[in-house]
């Protein structure tokens, strides 16, 4: 399971194509070359959620291809493990956001 989340950085796509690989988010500081420095936190979360959904859909499509006999078992395992890692990362981010919200809501004004 994911131990903790530090600063977030999106892994740049190779040749402009989105990769459905593990490492959806990586710790570190910086931004993609194509993104502006002033992108909002909501945009970052939206992009992460979109990539997670795409990874899950890719794993589902790979599983369907395997049932048809068009995909290798190794490809299916890689796709499913990538989807699992992306989902665990998203759940950890959600838990941190909810925890931060609850902590802020408990503050006295």
Given this model, what pLDDT does residue 97 score?
93
pLDDT tens digits, 43-68: 988 998 999 999 999 999 999 999 99
pLDDT tens digits, 4-31: 444 445 454 444 444 444 454 444 444 4
| Alpha-carbon separation of residue 23 from 1, 15, 19, 71 (angstroms) | 14, 17, 10, 23
As a whole number of angstroms, the distance between CA 60 and CA 71 comes to 12
């Amino acid at each position: 399971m994911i131990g903790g989340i530090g600063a977030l950085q999106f892994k740049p796509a190779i040749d402009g194509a989105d990769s459905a690989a593990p490492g959806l988010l990586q710790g570190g500081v910086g931004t993609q070359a194509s993104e502006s420095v002033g992108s909002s936190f909501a945009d970052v979360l939206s992009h992460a959620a979109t990539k997670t959904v795409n990874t899950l859909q890719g794993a589902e499509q790979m599983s369907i291809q395997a049932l048809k006999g068009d995909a290798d078992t190794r490809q299916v395992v890689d796709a499913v493990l990538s989807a699992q890692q992306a989902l665990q990362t998203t759940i950890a981010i959600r838990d941190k956001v909810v925890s931060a919200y609850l902590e802020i809501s408990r503050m006295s004004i």
